[in-house]
Amino acid sequence: MTEIVEELPRLAPIMKKLLQEHILVGPTLTHVSVATITSHHQQLIHQEARRLVRQYWPEHWFARPAIQPYYQKVVATNAMIDAITSTAAFYAHLRLGQSGLEGSMILVASKLLETSMKRYSPETVFALAFLVNAYDDYQAIQYYQPMLVTDFVSGQYHRPWASYPLEEECKLILDYGVAEWVSSSDRLSIRLTKKGEDHLKEFQAFLQETGFLEKRAALNRFAGFGQMEDYDEIMNRLSNAKELRAALLKNARLQPNMHVLELGCGTGMLTLDAGLYKKVGLFGQITAIDPSLGMLNRAMKKPYSGASVKFLQATAEELPFESNTFDAAVGFLFLHFTDIPQALREIHRVCKPGAWLTTIYGLQFPQTEPFLEEWLAPIFQQSRSMSKDSVDRMPKEDTIRNILSTLECTYEEVTLEPVEILGKTYEIDQIIRFWFQAGNFFEPFMRNLPWKAQQDLIQQLTERGYRIREKYGEEGMIQHHPGQFLQARVIKSTC
């Protein structure tokens, strides 16, 4: 019988296609409360999951040996519950801006999964959905091992979003031989076997290479920013962002009557508060995009008069515009949240020849400031012990230059200059929320921890922050974060 790890090369392109189609076969919006699910709607989700399993997973498939748990009915049903919930939450919250899940959206999500089963085969979709849950399970067992069975079954340590107990999953993991009993304690515990450790590595590499882990991080970030009602206040209080936005506009080479694309507009602080719309005059036009519908909704409530401003939900990696549409492109603190090569390619595509791209973005967190190194020591030290290259997802000083050098015949007259982003980090609760809930800056490190370990670390860093403030004082907690100013001119000539 074929091992699921042997199927990974076949499954990889299908996972990528499903992610592009926004079919989320595993838990994604896991770190923010994006939707209130009533008991009635939870029952509907379970009902639809059972229907999909009953209709697309014939009973004879369950007659396989117990050592092959991937095709067991309970795992398939649980996986479909998570897939329906995640897909419905994505469309309800991040596409429609709804605070809760309606029955109609649950049925839409179920139908989308059903369509995918018909297109790619039911077995493929079930296998992918199981794989994501298995990754979360195996990661938790490895981190806590030996892990108490009661902790695993409750799901509170690694899958608190699960609306079902994990007894059967625990049994199947043991039957399949990826975990084993530990009898050294009077309380039952389990740990990964060599087979389980190997599968965890294979699953992690698969989810990394197919983009699932990055997709999960991005969706949590979009939702986190969308829920940050005090984002404007935090940005104005915690940094020199106002001065940097003014400098960006001063150097952006904007002219009256231009049609300008603004990327990562957020709540409209550059668009409206800083006066981007004024730069293009009464007959100019601003098209401002952001992936967070919550932030866009707040931007659209701000009053202004002057140029035409259109707010639109979109990502920099997938711009919904015709080629050669814009006279210029600008953005403030957005590029480091994107797939940078893809974003630069898309910006080049939608801009006219000669258009200028101007932006400021952050670089990697410095480990040279004493207060910051002491505060974030649990992350920095664990990262070194795990031989991780970087604890955060920010670009390095030479990242953008290196990327531009690979994008031939796209940009010329490139200017890269250092800027300093000042962070007033002494508002501990706000900055922790900004770093971990919204910005998700340390996600490359945090993804190596199960859910509860992440929450415990955030709590630990919050408590450390207050002790650091007592030691260094407010003036000693000004973060001098490195950033870069980028300006480049779009060219469309063939090479």
Residues paired with 312 in a beta bridge: 289
The reply to whether 22 and 101 lie within a common domain is yes
Q: Which of 366, 472, 394 is nearest to 428 (CA)?
A: 472
Contact 236, 266 (CB under 8 A): no
Q: What is the DSSP letter of 391?
A: S
Q: What is the DSSP letter of 26?
A: S
The reply to whether 270 and 351 lie within a common domain is yes
Residue 240's identity, in one-letter code, is N
Domain assignment present for residue 419? The answer is yes
**Residue 237: CATH number of its domain:** 3.40.50.150
The reply to whether 256 and 394 lie within a common domain is yes
Residue-number span of the structural domain to which 265 is assigned? 231-490
Locus of tokens 């179920």: 110
Rounded to whole angstroms, what are the CA distances from 65 to 60, 70, 169, 196?
A: 12, 11, 15, 18
The reply to whether 332 and 378 lie within a common domain is yes
Q: Which of 26, 37, 32, 189 is nearest to 113 (CA)?
A: 26
Cα 14 to Cα 18: distance, rounded to the nearest angstrom: 6
Contact 159, 133 (CB under 8 A): yes
Cα 381 to Cα 358: distance, rounded to the nearest angstrom: 36
Query: Is 387 exposed, middle or buried, given 0-12, 13-18 or 19+ CB atoms closer than 10 A?
Result: exposed
The reply to whether 48 and 89 lie within a common domain is yes
- Tell me what pLDDT residue 36 has: 67
The reply to whether 203 and 254 lie within a common domain is no
pLDDT along the chain (495 residues), means of 10: 82 97 85 68 95 82 49 82 92 78 92 97 91 96 95 94 89 90 83 97 97 91 84 81 96 98 97 96 96 92 86 96 98 95 97 98 86 92 62 86 93 97 92 89 91 96 98 94 97 80
Strand pairing report for 189-192 and 147-148: antiparallel
Look at residue 285 and give its three-state secondary structure: strand
The reply to whether 282 and 207 lie within a common domain is no
Cβ contacts of 123 within 8 Å, gap of 6 or more:
61, 71
Strand pairing report for 478-490 and 308-313: unpaired
The reply to whether 468 and 417 lie within a common domain is yes
Number of domains in the chain: 2
- Tell me what pLDDT residue 94 has: 78
- Tell me what pLDDT residue 387 has: 46
- Tell me what pLDDT residue 233 has: 83
